[in-house]
Amino acid sequence: MNIQINGEWREVRAADLTAALAELGFADAVIATAVNGEFVPAASRATATLAEGDRLEVLAPMQGG
């Protein structure tokens, strides 16, 4: 299915967020995620299903001041 990841359209085979993140190379990364503008906590990623055309945002925490 085609989903938008950080503004770029990508093809993924995964149906849930955890599997999609692994497919995209984020499996072990410390990140925050949102699907269609809604925050998805790490504990809920395995049950968060994806659909054609969804918008996924993947953000890495940054330190600094």
pLDDT in tens, 1-60: 999 999 999 999 999 999 999 999 998 899 999 999 999 999 999 999 999 999 999 998
Residue 21 burial by Cβ neighbours in a 10 Å radius (0-12, 13-18, 19+): buried
What pLDDT score was predicted for residue 63? Answer: 73
- At the second CATH level, the architecture of 2-59 is Roll (3.10)
Rg (alpha carbons) of the chain, rounded to whole number: 11
Q: In the predicted model, is pLDDT for residue 61 greater than 90?
A: no
Token couple for 45: 């990623």
What pLDDT score was predicted for residue 62? Answer: 77
Q: In the predicted model, is pLDDT for residue 64 greater than 80?
A: no
Of residues 64, 50, 41, 65, the one with CA closest to residue 17: 50
Torsion-angle region of 9 (φ positive above 0: left; ψ -120 to 50: alpha; else: beta):
beta
What pLDDT score was predicted for residue 47? Answer: 97
